Structure 1
């Protein structure tokens, strides 16, 4: 087994749904086969679509997942799907190079320039050490290596720019990770408490700590957000820990959403179960009946998860 990087665009050319599958041509079959049973990181390139002139991609690693198996594409004979599980977004996107360090050694030439030939490969195998560095940088806030500063309730909102783990003075051992740590990392990645913390951090950040259905943003006296991260397709129904399967909701609204009293249409209009909620509850909701959503299209609730909630959870 070997870990790998899977490249996927904001608007993929292939039939990717990173939470569940990665679509790839036969060119990369050998690299993907090596990753079966092991962990990968997803990378978002600069190009956001198949158009060579497109831009807007973050040029960053943004999530991790485990490769379960490879199945042939039933329509295209020279293409395959890698089915994945345990998808988890990083709480901060990790640039491929930061602090003077390139996370994937194959992407750096001896003179410090970028190896564009290697970078052009959509699937790249990486070492355990390289994966661990990316993982630690992506989840630094969750594992206590990077604390997010919280403004005072009346302070103007500013974007958070977390310190890179690579440049973090508190981690002098960062380039000398013992092999046994890889096992501990895997144990955390499948741990429900860790995944809950990472999912909540990613969803709250995407929604700027604001309830999508009420517009309320409450920061307590300790500087912590009171908003909660809700799964659209529940985890007990095999829903992934993805921002696209999440929504930030206040406690009461989260309770109503989980019990099918509220749902969401494909145009992000709120749906209310008829005759099940009093007027005092519906008056909490945004007056225009629409969600308050993240600014990035790739963070919006995915239609597949919304459809599942309406079909299996909603009581309307």
Structure 2
């Protein structure tokens, strides 16, 4: 089997682990870029508008005009909706490089941080009125980031990707992306680009489902390896991605280990005892992929997935909640799980 590299669409991809597994313990396109929406042409029709997000009502008196994407995944989605000219900041840009057509539209947008969320001061300094984050972690005041309350006091609405809300992180699904696209279409008064983007995504997912049909599902363990520490994925959008790709997760969200979080550190014996047909693992870059493959080969030589070289690397950025990369991941994993059908 050819090993998939940690690239997508010509991108060199990097990301911190599992949208920061360690950090989260403390607290991932194929579409064309839409024409930019002009703030000057905006009217107040349809406002004030209230949108529910993570159990909180966000009220908008007009479409936001000073926007920050707290990860490239979120920045990309905003650009795809034609909102590049609204961006006043982008963050955590070391996660991965955006496609050239997207990068060209945000070349002058200030970079607020590289590997971690921006500090409170750096974020507030660009005076945003809308901040879009992949998870609730990016709003953790204890980590030195601007909290939702602090942003509200500064006149900004903070929006978290639906699948990244704290109370949904362990049970989120790929469909949460479409909730975000619909909400962003309402918030920015761009319903037509939002509907088109959502329709494209749903059609791509349906194509995978139709292709797989009733094919037998291979057993899959989804892992993240950092050094010699192995974490298993048992929930969240990552779990749903495997299911939609036609795999049977060997770790289940109903297990006690995943009662409070979508990932859990496990012993090597746990993987060996479940003997998955395929191992899917998230990678930050090429070096991380190589190190993970080496560790899996050394630690699990008798596990079917390793013995048969059915190891599938997926860019970590494609697994972030609220990213078009979720659809890419479904397509890519499905092709690896069912090569005879694709």
TM-score with structure 1 length normalisation?
Answer: 0.30
Q: Larger % of helix: which?
A: 2
Normalised by the size of structure 2, how large is the TM-score?
0.29
Higher RCO structure, 1 or 2 (CA under 8 Å, sep 6+)? 2
